[in-house]
């Protein structure tokens, strides 16, 4: 049975961009400091480095920076919706998207809001953006997945922290990847990872969360195959939510069934290896990590071509999971940055001691609820001060 909804319009990702923070922590250094075998991180988790953000870089500045890297002035005049998906938001009321709308100078008659369901949020945002464009074909929607993943010093998740933002422009006749209208989601009310309002770091049932990730993967995948006529042979690559790449590798192995030829398995494995390159240098960026995997695949894979289909597995603790797919369009390489790996190497490395100070520093407000910040000259956008409890952001003039 093929339940794919026929939509007389192609909608998808027109452009995709990324920004991460200015500092990096080498996991070799962290392993030494924690008295752990470095192979546990590099082979056990498949991680090498993690991005570290100071106070002046948050989900708003990273979102603005990722978006600005792909948008023209004309597109800023055309966007009529800005959605920021995040689980590390900076205000319980005002949406990060409103700050981003202001920083980018998007035309005023736009809808801006935040969306949350752990690492799944951006997938829901993409679906809503697609429905909006279906309804209003000239619309352009800016969907941004922006997060800073902080588990705490010596927490089991410490080597899987990270910071980054993926921005995607969703339009009709997209120039990168068209959606296939084949989403299948699953919800389970579980407590595998959560962060109460009173806590700056999450509570994690680590092993349980990995079991839920994998069980949601196999059950949602089975349902997806049941509802549509797809098999693994239809896809050139699979992109996974990447809390750490080793877990996704386990997912890949579960999806490679006996019907696949060795050649197909090798090609899927090769593309998987390309899809984890950025995460291995950045760590978990929660809701953006699936799309960071997609970006890494598109910018580094050597055996992809227009017309190839890519299936994506989204997982957000709590938990919501989803499979959906897209098809690469002619000329999809045009808007990608093939130089990103070398740019990532330009981040400033921190010692473990400095990382502990920089990443976990808390804002100290004076009696009026204000604080001034400095040292943000290398950023594109920065939190420059808090004045009477109001966060003030600015584009950094170079
Ligand atoms: N050499 C090589 N490999 C080694 C090793 C060594 N010296 N020492 C350990 N390993 C391997 C282990 O065998 C293990 O591999 P397998 O999973 O294949 O068995 C791997 O390294 C990790 O070792 P442990 O399981 O002992 O690690 P841990 O218990 O200290 O931490 C974790 C693992 C619980 C997942 C922890 O990283 C964590 O809490 N992470 C945060 C939660 C998380 O990411 N969950 C994922 C699903 S939830 C989700 O997806 C949402 C989200 O983004 C958070």
d(CA 27, CA 281) in angstroms, rounded, equals 10
3-395 CATH, one of 1.10.530.10, 3.40.47.10, 1.10.620.20, 1.10.40.50: 3.40.47.10
Alpha helices in 136-205 (DSSP H): none
Using alpha carbons only, give the angle 292, 296, 299 rounded to the nearest 5 degrees.
135
Q: Using CA of residue 67, residue 132, residue 119, residue 314, what is the dihedral sign? A: negative
Could you identify the residue written with the tokens 């999450």?
202
Instruction: Give the three-class secondary structure for 316.
Output: strand
Give the residue, out of 210, 239, 251, 313, with the most ligand 1 atoms within 8 A of its beta carbon, to mutate for a pocket test.
210
Q: How far is CA 266 from CA 42, 271, 377, in A?
A: 22, 9, 45
Q: What are the φ/ψ torsions at residue 148 (nearest 5 degrees)?
A: -120, 115
The answer to whether 181 is a known ligand-binding residue is no
d(CA 106, CA 19) in angstroms, rounded, equals 19
What percent of the chain has a predicted confidence (pLDDT) above 70? Answer: 98
Strand 371-372 to 381-387 pairing: antiparallel
d(CA 352, CA 88) in angstroms, rounded, equals 23
Ligand 1 site, CB within 6 A = 37, 39-40, 43-45, 119, 156-157, 160, 192-193, 204, 206-207, 209-210, 213, 241, 243-244, 247, 284, 286, 315, 317
Atom 31 in ligand 1: residue holding the nearest Cα:
156
What is the chain's pLDDT, residue by residue, as a tens digit (398 residues)? 345 555 578 999 999 999 999 999 999 999 999 999 999 999 999 999 999 999 999 999 999 999 999 999 999 999 999 999 999 999 999 999 999 999 999 999 999 999 999 999 999 999 999 999 999 999 999 999 999 999 999 999 999 999 999 999 999 999 999 999 999 999 999 999 999 999 999 999 999 999 999 999 999 999 999 999 899 999 999 999 999 999 999 999 999 988 899 999 999 999 999 999 999 999 999 999 999 999 999 999 999 999 999 999 999 999 999 999 999 999 999 999 999 999 999 999 999 999 999 999 999 999 999 999 999 999 999 999 999 999 999 999 98
Q: What is the rounded radius of gyration, in angstroms, for the C-alpha atoms of the chain?
A: 20
The pLDDT score that the predictor gives to residue 257 is 86
CA dihedral 349, 353, 358, 359 (to 10 degrees): 90
Instruction: Name which of 16, 104, 123 is nearest 337 in CA terms.
Output: 16
Atom 8 in ligand 1: residue holding the nearest Cα:
40
d(CA 351, CA 25) in angstroms, rounded, equals 7
Q: Per-residue pLDDT tens for 14-61?
A: 999 999 999 999 999 999 999 999 999 999 999 999 999 999 999 999
Instruction: Name which of 123, 140, 129, 172 is nearest 286 in CA terms.
Output: 123
pTM of the model: 0.97
Instruction: Report domain extents, the chain.
Output: 3-395
């Amino acid at each position: 049975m093929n339940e794919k909804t026929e939509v007389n319009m192609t909608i998808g990702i027109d452009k995709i961009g990324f920004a991460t923070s200015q500092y990096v922590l080498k996991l070799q250094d962290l392993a030494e400091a924690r008295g752990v075998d470095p192979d546990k991180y590099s082979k056990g988790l498949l991680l090498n480095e993690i991005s570290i953000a100071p106070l002046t870089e948050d989900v708003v500045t990273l979102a603005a920076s990722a978006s600005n890297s792909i948008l023209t002035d004309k597109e800023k005049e055309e966007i009529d919706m800005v959605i920021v998906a995040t689980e590390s938001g900076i205000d319980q009321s005002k949406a990060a998207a409103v700050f981003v709308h202001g920083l980018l100078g998007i035309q005023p008659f736009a809808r801006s809001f935040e969306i949350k369901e752990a690492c799944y949020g951006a997938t829901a945002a993409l679906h809503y953006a697609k429905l909006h464009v279906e309804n209003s074909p000239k619309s352009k929607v800016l969907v941004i997945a922006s997060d800073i993943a902080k588990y705490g010093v010596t927490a089991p998740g410490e080597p899987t922290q990270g910071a980054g933002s993926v921005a995607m422009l969703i339009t009709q006749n997209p120039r990168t990847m068209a959606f296939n209208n084949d989403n299948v989601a699953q919800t389970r009310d579980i407590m595998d990872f959560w962060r109460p309002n009173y806590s700056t770091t999450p509570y994690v049932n680590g092993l349980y969360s990995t079991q839920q990730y994998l069980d949601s993967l196999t059950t949602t995948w089975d349902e997806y195959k049941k509802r549509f006529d797809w098999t693994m042979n239809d896809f050139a690559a699979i992109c996974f939510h990447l809390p750490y790449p080793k877990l996704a590798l386990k997912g890949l192995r579960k999806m490679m069934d006996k019907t696949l030829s060795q050649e197909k398995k090798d090609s899927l494995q090769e593309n998987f290896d390309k899809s984890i390159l950025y995460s291995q240098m950045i760590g978990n960026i929660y809701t953006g990590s699936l799309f960071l995997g997609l970006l890494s695949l598109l910018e580094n894979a050597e055996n992809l071509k227009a017309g190839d289909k890519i299936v994506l597995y989204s997982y957000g603790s709590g938990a919501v999971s989803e499979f959906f797919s897209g098809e690469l369009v002619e000329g999809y390489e045009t808007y990608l940055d093939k130089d990103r790996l070398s740019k990532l190497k330009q981040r400033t490395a921190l010692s473990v001691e400095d990382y502990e100070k920089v990443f976990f520093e808390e804002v100290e407000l004076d009696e009026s609820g204000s604080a001034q910040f400095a040292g943000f000259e290398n950023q594109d956008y920065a939190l420059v001060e808090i004045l009477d409890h109001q966060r003030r952001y600015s584009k950094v003039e170079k």
